[in-house]
Amino acid sequence: MGRELTPYLVLVFVGFLPNEIWRLLGLLVGGGLDEDSEVIIWVRAVAVAVLAAVIAKLVLVPPGALAAVPLVVRLGAIGCGYMAYALARQSVFTGLVAGEAALIVGGLLFPS
C-alpha cells in the first residue's frame, strides 16, 4: 500500500508544497499593500512582461506540433483573438476562444 502512494507523496512534497509556501508568503506580505503602490505596479508590469515574452516565444519559435502551423496563421490567430477581445468589451474568454478557433481553422486550411 505504501509503494502505491509514494508517487503522490512526492508530488505533494516536491511539487505542491514549495509552490504553496511562496504563495502564502506573498499573500501575507502583499495583503497589506495598496493596489496603487509602486511595488504592486512594478510587480504587475513584470508579470505582464513575462507573459508577453512567453507568448512571443510560443508564436515565433513554437515547440512540437505548433511548429507545423505557418507563422502567418499564428500571427493571424493573435490578431483575431485581440479583435474579439476588444469587440466583446474586453472579455478575455472571448478573445481566447476566438484566437484558438482561428489557429485551429488556419492550421487545417494552410498546413505547412
**Segment 36-55, tens digit of pLDDT:** 989 889 989 999 999 999 99
Q: Which three cell numbers stand for residue 61?
A: 519559435
Domain that holds residue 78: 63-112
Among 107, 106, 81, 105, which residue's Cα sits nearest to residue 94?
81
Q: Which three cell numbers stand for residue 75?
A: 500571427
72 in the same domain as 46: no
Average pLDDT over residues 55-69: 92
**Cβ contact 80:87 at 8 Å:** no
77 in the same domain as 106: yes
Which phi and psi angles does 37 have, rounded to 5°? -70, 155
45 in the same domain as 68: no
Answer whether residue 111 shows pLDDT above 60. Answer: yes
Domain count, the chain: 3
97 in the same domain as 67: yes
96 in the same domain as 81: yes
17 in the same domain as 40: no
70 in the same domain as 95: yes
Q: Angle of helix 71-87 relative to helix 92-109, nearest 10 degrees?
A: 150
87 in the same domain as 51: no
Q: Which amino acid is at 23?
A: R
* Better-scored residue on pLDDT, 85 or 22: 85
